[in-house]
Amino acid sequence: MQQLIEAFPKQLKEALEIGRKAQLKAPGGPYANVVVTGLGGSGIGGKLAAQLVHKEAKCPIEVYHNYYLPGYVNHKSLVIACSYSGNTEETIAAMEQALAKGARVCVVTSGGTMLETAKAKGLDHIVIPGGNPPRTMLAYSLVQQFFLLHHFGIIGDGFEGAINAAAQMLEHEKEDIKKAATALTEKLVGKRLVIYSEANTEAVCIRFRQQVNENSKELCWHHAIPEMNHNELVGWAGGDKNIAVVIFRHKADHERTQMRMEINKAVFEKYTPNVFEVWSQGDTAFARQLFLINLGDWVSLYWAEKKGVDPSEIAVINMLKGKLAEVK
């Protein structure tokens, strides 16, 4: 796990090469909407991509984590089906619906049933390296989302330079990121984690939560500001010192949201002394969010080491899949 997290910047660069070499059919279109379907470590790439290009995208991009697709999907839709293994039953079901509805379907996978289907039906597909836990291959699945969105005319090509620069920044700052992650982990061990950010960074919070769940074997939750101010803030009346708060922040956050965060911090500190801010680094939104992702990944690993648990072990998920496989 440590080697895979350390390889994140290198993976981003390799993913760019894979995307550049992808052989895709004529884009067609224009498309009325884009739906990304995927779950867990495979699905989070769609959320991150949609979040990063929301100001540029020429049509709505929605991410679904279920067996079904929204009713509006039709022949004017672009559906990106993302499953690292290629055997995720929910994603396969959603992909079959997309095909039945006449949508343009693209597949991002390392193999499995989805790759077989893509080849058999002549669907656009990008194959990424296999053989590792899906959550450790985020760089590959995330980057391909941008190549597909660009190919089909949803976004421009500025993402390539931004991702490459972000990868170089992460390599240069690697030791400082690890030191910051070590220090933060020391403050979180033994606490129940709550993660907050501005709405435009919510996908990063989700990624951090997922990593803490799977790698650190810890429950936690997240919310986004300003929405959180209209409900969860009241719930802090039930807060206590066993809760630790991490707030992901950017200097580019909306000025009113920054004011809200300062007020929120004062509320949290009435109930717990464990309130920690993590400020992003980087010159672009891509760099800032990838920085926070990488730092969060390191925290999840160090937390697992502090507890003496195996960050790679997911026996309970394998048990669930086994039980489901018994019922056809």
Tell me the C-alpha distance between 196 and 79, whole Å.
Answer: 30
Count of beta carbons in the 10 Å neighbourhood of residue 199? 17
Tell me the C-alpha distance between 12 and 214, whole Å.
Answer: 22
321 included as an active-site residue: yes
Question: In the numeric block, which tokens belong to residue 56?
Answer: 């540029």
Which residue among the candidates 21, 55, 175, 230 is catalytic per the annotation? 230
> Which position has the token pair 């499953």?
83
Count of beta carbons in the 10 Å neighbourhood of residue 127? 17
Which residue among the candidates 90, 202, 214, 218 is catalytic per the annotation? 214
Distinct helix (H) and strand (E) counts, the chain = 13, 9
CB 274 within 8 A of CB 154: no
CA dihedral over 265, 266, 268, 271, signed as positive or negative: positive
Report, as residue numbers or ranges, the catalytic residues.
Answer: 214, 230, 321
